[in-house]
Amino acid sequence: MFHQPRKRFGQNFLSDETVLDRIVSAIHPKSEQSIVEIGPGLGALTKKLLPLVNKLDAVELDRDLIPKLQASCAGLGELIIHQQDALKFDFASVIKNKQKLRIVGNLPYNISTPLLFYLLTFAPYIQDMYFMLQKEVAHRLASAPGNKTYGRLSVMVQYYCTVEILFDVEAVAFNPKPKVDSAFIRLVPYDRPPYFANDFDLFAELVNAAFTQRRKTIRNALGTFISAEALESLNISPTLRPENLTIEQFVRIANQL
């Protein structure tokens, strides 16, 4: 089934059967679970998931793909297609019987970060998420303090959920072949975050300010928020750099303010 991939939608369709089977095995979908697929494309993954769950919601922006998606999945189960931008879709609207959502997708590289932040606003309604991402982004998401890849994205996503890289995927698994490799990850939102920011917006502003000046010490990077003396009172050295602070320490600083 031919479809000319569109650059403006960041379309790189996963076509490797072995990788698709690994994805299904990792997700381990069960009958009647609430699965939502973002960007199903031509349905390579949808065709494997739908018979296992009987009913699946798919969010697809490209209206030209929808007839092809419906044709490829005909007779496999109930496929409900929402022709909408995932960045504007109300994911809470597809919840049934208070069953938490399992969200999956091969995310377009050009919107993966804003889409992740958007999805986290629905965290209380989500059981888990499985995404194919640009490898560099996946490693930033999963990064721990002290690593060069640890930054704002790591802190903000890990505040909400655990992040695990399941396996890397080479560019040849896609059509058209992207210029970078990918990684398949699992994110599991916490029922209750281990560290709670009393003012989340302030916490987010603090983290953003810190990593905007990541080469500076936190004494300088966060100087407009908190004094060196106040940092020391929290048992946090003012000479540390932002990449050395744990999420718990960022939360403590925000709560002190």
**Among 189, 215, 236, which residue terminates a domain?**
189
Domain end point (choices 147, 167, 189): 189
- 174 and 239 fall within a common domain: no
Q: Is residue 195 part of a domain?
A: no
244 and 138, same domain (yes or no): no
CATH of the domain at 215: 1.10.8.100
Per-residue confidence in pLDDT tens, the chain, 257 aa: 444 444 444 456 677 889 899 999 999 999 889 999 999 988 889 999 999 998 999 998 888 888 888 988 888 889 999 999 999 999 999 998 889 999 999 887 778 899 999 999 999 999 999 999 999 999 999 999 999 999 999 999 999 999 999 998 877 877 667 678 889 999 999 998 899 999 999 999 999 999 998 889 999 999 888 889 999 999 999 999 999 999 999 999 999 98
**Cβ neighbours of residue 1 under 8 Å, at least 6 residues apart?**
42, 68, 71, 72
* pTM of the complete model: 0.89
Domain that holds residue 240: 200-256
On whether both 174 and 125 belong to a single domain, the answer is yes
Residue 52, domain CATH: 3.40.50.150
3-state secondary structure of 55: strand
